[in-house]
Structures are given as C-alpha cells and as structure tokens.
C-alpha cells in the first residue's frame, strides 16, 4: 500500500477548506507557535471557517488508544493536537490513503472533508490532547457517522513504522 502524506497548504484556512472539499483530499495547514518566557500559544486557529452549525470539541486520548475508523457524510473535521502527538490515518473508498503525525513538534490543522474515513492513535508513552472543530454539531438522534473496524483498511498500520 502506498500511504501518502496530506498536502501541506499555506493558504488561509477558509481557502484551504475549500480546496480540501474540491479535491476530496485531506490537507495539512501548519500554524505558528507564539512563545516567550510566559509560555506559548496558538492563535486565530479557526478564523474564517466557524459557523453557527459547528462545534468545538476537546478530547484527551490515553496512550495506546486507537480511535478509528469513522466518516461523515456532511461535516468537515479540523483536527489539532496542542499537547502530545497523534498519528492521523485517512482513507478514501478508491483506496487512496494518507497518514501524518501532528502535535507539539508538528503543529498544524488537518482538514478532513466529508466521506473520508479517518482515525487516530497516540504516539509515544503519553496522552495527547485533541482539539477539533466540526462544521456540524453532533446530533445524538441522527448522528452523521459511519464506523468500520480498526483493521479494515488493508495495509494500514496503527503501530510504529520502524524505518
């Protein structure tokens, strides 16, 4: 299996979102870390894409946990990992597959357009913190979500790729 890295996009997030929707492929939009002797911050992360239908979620993921695979028919996900690191897997029904590690040492936003299967696992011995924006709020009466088994994408490994 040929696993690709998502394309790195240097455009503003709203333009990158449109590009991801048109190409039906994930994009990685790096962002700056602002640091001084008081600490660090990430700023203006979701500028230009937030709407009244969306919601922001925060999830702590414990070491060795795999949360995969699922997809949405309507919503786009925007994933950020401000603490720790996660390996993100993405898969399209035509067999095209991507992966990227994001987090403290590779800060940015992964844009996941509708219908792409996606999931993640922590990298390393520590928990990871995920913050993600979704363009449609969760509806428990009618969830926009399909699931499949974690080992159902042939050739994709959630483990460490020893090179």
Structural domain boundaries in the chain: 3-34+52-139
Whole-structure pTM value: 0.94
Neighbours of 147 (CB within 10 A): 13
Q: Digits of tens for pLDDT over the chain (163 positions)? A: 899 999 999 999 999 999 999 999 999 999 988 899 999 898 888 888 988 999 999 999 999 999 999 999 999 999 999 999 999 999 999 999 999 999 999 999 999 999 999 999 999 999 999 999 999 999 999 999 999 999 999 999 999 888 7
Lay out the sheet containing 77-83: strands in order across: 7-8, 27-30, 108-112, 77-83, 128-134, 55-61
Report how far residue 55's alpha carbon sits from residue 135's, in angstroms, rounded to the nearest whole number.
7
**Six-digit token string for 47:** 């500028």
Q: Roughly how many angstroms between the first and final C-alpha of the chain, as a whole number?
A: 16
Class of domain 3-34+52-139: mainly beta
């Amino acid at each position: 299996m040929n696993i690709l890295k998502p394309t790195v996009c240097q455009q503003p997030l709203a333009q990158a979102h449109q590009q991801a929707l048109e190409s039906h492929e994930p994009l990685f939009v790096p962002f700056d870390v602002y640091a001084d002797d008081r600490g660090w911050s990430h700023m203006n992360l979701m500028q230009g894409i937030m709407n009244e239908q969306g919601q922001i979620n925060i999830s702590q993921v414990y070491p060795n946990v795999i949360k995969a695979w699922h997809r949405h028919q309507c919503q786009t996900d925007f994933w950020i990992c401000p603490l720790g690191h996660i390996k993100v897997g993405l898969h399209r029904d035509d067999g095209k597959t991507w992966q990227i590690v994001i987090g403290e040492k590779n800060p940015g936003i992964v844009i996941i357009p509708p219908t792409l299967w996606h999931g993640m696992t922590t990298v390393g011995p520590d928990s990871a913190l995920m913050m993600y924006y979704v363009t449609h709020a969760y509806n428990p009466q009618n969830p926009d979500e399909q699931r499949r088994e974690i080992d159902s994408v042939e050739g994709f490994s959630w483990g460490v790729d020893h090179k």
